[in-house]
Amino acid sequence: MTELHQEIRYCISADGTRLAYATMGRGSPLVKPPNWFGVEYELESLVWRHWVEELAQTHQLIRYDQRGCGLSDGGEGEISLEAWVQDLDAVVEAAGLQRFPLIGVSQGGPVAVEYAVRHPDRVTHLVLCGAMALGPAKSSVPDEVARHDALITLAREGWDQERSTFRDLFASIALPDATAERRQALSDLCRKSTSGSVAARILTAIGNVDVVDKLPQVTVPTLVLHAVDDQLTSYDQARTFAALIPKARLVPLDSSNHALQSDEPAWQVFVAEMRGFLSEPPAASRMDLRETESGKSILSQRELDVLRLLAQGKSNPEIAKALFITRNTVQNHVSSILIKTNLNNRTEAAVYAKEHGLV
């Protein structure tokens, strides 16, 4: 097993709650809001370790313990969607991040959505996996509400027991297709991550989540992945995300596990889709070619058209023909592009265009 190294630091949320956050890996940043479990314990977990390994393989992964869990404080403070969003904001500020993708898994999904709506200038990509837009307490189906109420009661009474029938039940719902060893690992992880009283409060907050009205306001590129037979969070939630978030792409995963496991085919689909999506240039970066900080134009629309064709390997005569302009005009535009972007030649201009999403 590969040894994973992470650095743990602390920051303070808006209400004074102390939060532990961890950074690991190299590359551009990737931020993951928490879904229950501690940044220390995930590295030891049969259930979550492969998630951390994958996310940190090509990025600097930033994770943190939610309030009341793991190394973070706040078990007695407010536990709500609003508090979770403020915590994410505190971690982002403490880590000194400017622009980054967000991956929201399970309860981290609505937190990521809310943050992306509030800070579209900071979020480059949004990945949602097994996430919910509407909590079970808000459901119009009485059985869903009753089941969630029962989970809260059972968590409060049975979470802390060394051998807990409730935690075993919870693990069976979350990982119906996993081995007994992994379900036991999830049950043990639940117990280590927080207390029964805090778990009940977290479940209550999850039940009251509602970001449905915010979904049409999401402006960043969004990828939605969800196990089609997820027993903990219905696939209907993924359909809601895909239907209401503009241009969101939905990828169904052939699994029943709420947390995808490394030995199932759906995990490989998830990895391939996520890697491909996060490698796409952020849409906002395309404006970098057009606007400076003062809002004045760098390249005109015609220069952008020329640069796009140049990056596709077109010659000046081919560009002239495509844009219905003379060759001399093309050459003038190319010279202007090189001057404005402080580049030396067409090759550098082509690379620059590709880096900024024009190709």
The answer to whether residue 154 scores a pLDDT higher than 90 is: no
Give the list of residues 6+ apart from residue 151 with CB closer than 8 angstroms, or none: 170, 203
Segment 101-128 shows an average pLDDT of: 96
Check residue 38 and give its pLDDT: 85
Instruction: Work out the pLDDT band at 297, boundaries 50, 70, 90.
Output: low
CA distances from 29 to 38, 72, 185 (A): 20, 22, 29
Segment 171-178 shows an average pLDDT of: 94
Check residue 295 and give its pLDDT: 46
Segment 335-355 shows an average pLDDT of: 83
The answer to whether residue 354 scores a pLDDT higher than 60 is: yes
SS (H, E, C) 153-213: HHHHHHCCCCCCHHHHHHHHHHCCCCCHHHHHHHHHHHHHHCCHHHHHHHHHHHHCCECHH
Segment 188-194 shows an average pLDDT of: 89
DSSP 134: B
Check residue 293 and give its pLDDT: 44
Segment 304-320 shows an average pLDDT of: 90
The answer to whether residue 36 scores a pLDDT higher than 90 is: no
Tens-digit pLDDT profile for residues 75-97: 788 999 999 999 999 999 999 99
Query: In whole angstroms, what is the distance from residue 147 CA to residue 40 CA?
Result: 31
More confident residue, 67 or 166: 67
Segment 64-70 shows an average pLDDT of: 95
* Domain annotation for the chain: domains and CATH numbers: 7-134+208-283 (3.40.50.1820), 135-207 (no CATH), 285-355 (1.10.10.10)
Instruction: Work out the pLDDT band at 283, boundaries 50, 70, 90.
Output: low
Check residue 290 and give its pLDDT: 46
Token pair 């690991």: residue: 24
Segment 194-207 shows an average pLDDT of: 93
Q: Are 282 and 124 in contact (CB under 8 A)?
A: yes
Token pair 């069976």: residue: 172
Instruction: Work out the pLDDT band at 289, boundaries 50, 70, 90.
Output: low
More confident residue, 338 or 265: 265
Check residue 232 and give its pLDDT: 92
Segment 26-41 shows an average pLDDT of: 90
Segment 213-230 shows an average pLDDT of: 96
The answer to whether residue 198 scores a pLDDT higher than 70 is: yes
What residues form DSSP beta bridges with 291?
297
Tens-digit pLDDT profile for residues 177-187: 999 999 999 99
Check residue 359 and give its pLDDT: 64
What DSSP string runs through 271-311?
HHHHHHHHHSPPGGGGGGGTB-TT--BSS-HHHHHHHHHHH
CA pseudo-torsion sign 343, 344, 349, 350? negative
CA pseudo-torsion sign 283, 107, 32, 235? negative
- Kindly report the pTM of this predicted structure: 0.78
Check residue 2 and give its pLDDT: 56
**Amino acid symbol at 328:** N
Instruction: Work out the pLDDT band at 294, boundaries 50, 70, 90.
Output: very low
Average pLDDT, the chain: 89
Q: Which of 17-26, 214-223, 338-347 has the lowest mean pLDDT?
A: 338-347
Check residue 347 and give its pLDDT: 86
Q: Are 65 and 74 in contact (CB under 8 A)?
A: no
Q: Which of 204-213, 246-255, 285-294, 332-341 has the lowest mean pLDDT?
A: 285-294
The answer to whether residue 107 scores a pLDDT higher than 90 is: yes
Give the list of residues 6+ apart from residue 300 with CB closer than 8 angstroms, or none: none
Tens-digit pLDDT profile for residues 319-344: 998 888 888 899 989 988 888 887 88
